[in-house]
Amino acid sequence: MSVDNAPARRYRPPAPLGGRRRASCGGLLRRNTRAFAFLAPALIILGLFVVWPMISALRLSFTDASGFGREEWVGLENYATVFTDPDILNAVGNTLLYTVLFTPTAVIAALGLALLLNSPHMPFRSFFRTALFIPFVVSFAVAAFAWSYLIDPQVGLLNYWLGGLGIQMGNVLEDPTLAMPAVAFVAVWKLFGFYFVIFLAGLQDIPSSLYEAARVDGARAWSRLRHITLPLLSNTMAFVLIFAMIAALQAFDQIYVMTGGGPYGNTQTVVMEIYESGFRKLDIGFASALSYVLLIATLVLSLVQFLFFGRREKDLSS
């Protein structure tokens, strides 16, 4: 099932029968036509709805487009606003804070639980695996309703229970310092199960013979973790980290529901600014410039990921 059992053959076409296939130019043309018939529907959709809007957004980002009337070319003015407007800088700062709160928490929780649940001796293993993955199928919006109710200052069950333990949380979503950790926590809850499953898969790729050898050498659990598991998991780790960071850069749903960007703009994120400037204020040129900044940030992260991923594929096939 894994990619590594056909390393040398993977980029080669099916073996020609009797060798007559690669002969003529007509054959090549026929093969290309046939392949593009398979590809056409997907390419049309991607071209029209992904590539074209991307090019279009780039053009709009240099204009003062507002949805009405003529749009004027304004050069880099929108980009200058992105990097100077205090509201946008606030949203960028918030998005980075959210990323810093969300990413390590989600990744460490996922890794720790995957390590615990990778052992075949763990009782109730499949129950725990299922339970931990369930939040992933719950929408951010519903997660936001449920958590908002749980931490409601008047009738919230979690607030009440924690109060019993002597922890007073107060009105978390109205609290300028606690609101961001709260919305980031909801994202951890929703997404860590997905990273957990990817870590489990990575752990299963580590040959058990390595652990047996280490056990024979008398290596303790901690040193097995440090010297075998973590180094061999580094590619999976890189993949999950970057995946999580990209998800964090796009934070919108649960914040829109829980705080609407408040209190005092303290949970306003970049995507919320894109939504508001593009669809509420109809400042389309500016929203496009902000979109492009997000796009480039994501591309840079994805390229890093792709380099790791590419290296991993090479490792597998060599």
* Cα separation of the two ends of the chain: 17
Residue 216 within binding range of other proteins, rule CB under 8 A: no
Instruction: Report which DSSP code applies to 72.
Output: P
Among 51, 225, 230, 307, binds other proteins (CB under 8 A): 51
Total number of residues that touch other proteins (CB under 8 A): 111
| Binding pattern for the stretch 86-105 against other proteins, x by CB under 8 A and - elsewhere | --------------------
Among 223, 225, 279, 315, binds other proteins (CB under 8 A): 279
Task: Return the residues of window 119-158 that contact other proteins according to CB under 8 A.
Answer: 120-124, 126, 128-143, 145-147, 149-150, 152, 154-158
Alpha carbons 83 and 80: distance in angstroms, whole number? 5
Alpha carbons 191 and 143: distance in angstroms, whole number? 11
For tokens 């293993």, what's the residue?
125
Among 9, 220, 226, 314, binds other proteins (CB under 8 A): 9
Residue 307 within binding range of other proteins, rule CB under 8 A: no
Residue 117 within binding range of other proteins, rule CB under 8 A: yes
Among 99, 103, 268, 288, binds other proteins (CB under 8 A): 288
Nearest to 150 by CA among 176, 105, 177, 189: 189
Q: Are 214 and 228 in contact (CB under 8 A)?
A: yes
- Shortest distance, position 131 Cβ to other proteins, whole Å: 4
Q: Are 286 and 277 in contact (CB under 8 A)?
A: yes
| SS3 readout for 149-174 | HHCCCCCCHHHHHHHHCCCCCCCHHH
Q: Which stretch binds other proteins (CB under 8 A): 72-80, 93-101, 111-119, 176-184?
A: 111-119
Q: Return the structure tokens found at 78.
A: 């929108």
Q: Which is nearer to other proteins, 101 or 196 (CB)?
A: 196
- Shortest distance, position 82 Cβ to other proteins, whole Å: 13
Q: Which is nearer to other proteins, 92 or 202 (CB)?
A: 202
